[in-house]
Amino acid sequence: MEYTFPVTRTTNPKPRPADETKLGFANYFTDHMFVMDYDEGQGWHDGRVVPHAPFLIEPACMVLHYAQMMFEGMKAYRTPDGHIQIFRPDMNIARMKRTNERMCMPELPGDLFMAALKAVIKEDMDWVPSAPGTALYIRPFIFGDEVSFSVLPAKHYKFMIILSPVGSYYASNDGGLNTARIYVSDNYIRAARGGTGYAKVGGNYGNAMRASEDAMKVHCKDVLWLDAHDNKYVEEIGTSNAFFRINDEIITASLESGTILPGITRDSVIQLCKKWGLKVTEGKLSIDEITEASKNGTLQEIFASGTAAVISPIGCLHYKGVDYPVGDEKVGPVAQKLYDTLYGIQTGTVPDDMGWTVRLF
C-alpha cells in the first residue's frame, strides 16, 4: 500500500549541535516528529509529520497509569557519499509485532512503519551526523491514550517517531572504544519466564533503575542481570545484550527463556562471528563460571551489544563486592573487529555482503 502523510514544517528550525563529536545520547532532538492515531473500529489513521514539540495529554490517559506502551530503537547513518541508510529494519518490524502482541496493542503494518520512518527522516535529513561513531537515533513508540482507569487494553493509541543525533550510549571521550565497569545485580531481577523480558517495553527499563543506582554507587556504568529463577545465569546488560569470550568460545544467553531482548545487534554479532569461523554458543553461562574464568585467566572478553550501545567492551565485573578483571581490561580483538565491521557496514565504509542496510535517500 502507498502511504502519503501531510507535513507541517517548523517555522522555527533549531540550531544544529555545535560539535558532532560531543553529541552524547539523546541530548538533542530534530525539528520534526511523526504522529498517527489508532481508534478501535477505524484502525490507524491521520498519520502526519509535524514540528517536534510537547503535546497535550489527558492526565487520565491509560499509559500514564498502566504503562501500556512499546518502543523501538533504530539508527540512520550517513554514508561517505552522502546517502542515508538504516540497518535491518525488518528485524525491528518483526520485534514490534511481537511486543504489540504481548502488550495487547494493535498491529502496525510494516509498510506503514517504513513509510512513516521515511516521511519524518526526509524532513530532518540534514540532522543525520557524519562524525565517527555518530548516527541519527530513531525512537518509534506506541502508547495507549484512551482516557480510562479500566485495566483493559486501550481502544485508542498514538504511534510516534522522534529523532535524535547521537554518539554511542556508553560514549568514550574520543569517539573510540573504551572499557566499562559493570555491576552484577544479585538482589534485583529484570525479567522472569512469562513476563515481558523479550518485549521492548518501558517497564523493563523503569524496573531496572533501582539496580542501576546500586551500580553507580560502585562506579559501574550499568548492570549485568542474572536469571530470575536461580539468580545464577547471566542474561543481559542494562540496555544491551551480553557476550562472553572464554577459552575462545563466544557465549551469549539464549532467547529460549523469553527473558532476553532479541537484539538486532545481538543477531548480527552472532552471524558475523559464525561467518568468521568463531565458535558461538547461545546457552546458559553461570556467574560462577565467569568469576572462575577471570581468576584462572580464561576470561578473554566481555562486551555488550545494542543499537544504542553498538559494541561496548567491558573491562571489569563487580560482583558481591569483588572486582573481577576481564582479560587485560583493555578493548578485546573480537569486540574491536565487531565494532569496526558493524559500524562500517552501517555507515557504508565496509561492503555490506550480508545485505543488512536499506538505503532511504
Q: Tell me which residue has its CB nearest to ligand COI.
A: 73
Binding status of residue 306 toward ligand COI by CB under 6 A: yes
Residue 74 or 334: the one with the smaller Cβ distance to ligand COI is 74
Residue 305, C-beta contacts closer than 8 angstroms, at least 6 positions apart: 240, 241, 242, 243, 263, 265, 266, 268, 269, 311, 312, 338
Q: How far is the CB of 44 from ligand COI (least distance, A)?
A: 23
Q: How far is the CB of 343 from ligand COI (least distance, A)?
A: 14
Cell of 23: 553529541
Residues in 58-77 that interact with ligand COI by CB under 6 A: 73
| Residue in the block written with cell 568463531 | 278
Residue 62 or 201: the one with the smaller Cβ distance to ligand COI is 201
Binding status of residue 307 toward ligand COI by CB under 6 A: yes
Binding status of residue 188 toward ligand COI by CB under 6 A: no
Residue 76, C-beta contacts closer than 8 angstroms, at least 6 positions apart: 84, 85, 86, 121, 128, 135, 136, 138, 163, 360
Cell of 184: 552484577
Residues in 88-127 that interact with ligand COI by CB under 6 A: none
Of the candidate residues 143, 169, 233, 303, the single one contacting ligand COI (CB under 6 A): 169
Side-chain half-sphere exposure of 229, counting CA atoms within 13 A: 11
Which region among 40-48, 155-163, 300-308, 327-335 touches ligand COI (by CB under 6 A)?
300-308
SS3 letters across 229-295:
CCCCEEEEECCEEEEEEECCEEEECCHHHCCCCCCHHHHHHHHHHHHCCCEEEECCCEHHHHHHHHH
Q: How far is the CB of 310 from ligand COI (least distance, A)?
A: 9
Binding status of residue 203 toward ligand COI by CB under 6 A: no
Binding status of residue 205 toward ligand COI by CB under 6 A: yes
Binding status of residue 308 toward ligand COI by CB under 6 A: yes
What is the binding site for ligand COI (CB under 6 A)? 73, 169, 205, 239, 306-308
